[in-house]
Amino acid sequence: MGRKTIRSKQTDRLLAVMLKEPLAWQHGYALMKQTGLQSGTLYPILLRLSDQDLLEAQWRQADAPGKPPRHVYRLTTAGLAFAREETVPASRTSDALLGARA
């Protein structure tokens, strides 16, 4: 059973950041820097979004040699629609992209 997504300020902040570049895959650390959220807040939100199929995650090889692969994240089509409802102003920029991905 998937967990429900919480309408918290932190979730809104994360969604707003991810809406800025809806097609880009982003690392957890990059998301932390952009949102200002701590890892203890960020990961539970990512987990919940992923459980609800609002977020997709992928493994990517690290850029630097010798470093382990990293998880990257981006919103799914459903996630973009959800984010658009959550953060209305930012959604305007992603309307065209939503249509393109649907």
Partner 1 sequence: METLRRRTAKALMRHVAQIMPSKDWGTAMQNEVEAIEDDRVALRWAMGCVAAGYRERMNTMLQTWYFRSALACLIVLLALREFFAPLLIFAYRMEYLGLAHFLGLRTAGDDYRRLIPVMDATPFWVVALWAVAGLLYLVALWQMLRRTGASYMLFLLGSGLDLAGVLAIRSVEASTGIIVEPIPMIRLAGFVLTFSVAFVLWRMTWKPTPAAS
Interface contacts to partner 1, rule CB under 8 A = 3-7, 27-29, 32, 38-44, 47, 52, 54, 57, 59, 62, 67-71, 81-82, 85-86
**Looking at beta carbons only, is 14 or 42 nearer to partner 1?**
42
Output the DSSP codes for 37-75.
Answer: --HHHHHHHHHHHHHTTSEEEEEE--SSTTPPPEEEEEE
Phi, psi of 33 (to 5 degrees): -65, -40
* Closest approach of partner 1 to the CB of residue 54, in Å: 7
Q: Residue 60: beta bridge partners? A: 70
The number of residues making up the chain comes to: 102
* Closest approach of partner 1 to the CB of residue 99, in Å: 18
* Closest approach of partner 1 to the CB of residue 34, in Å: 14
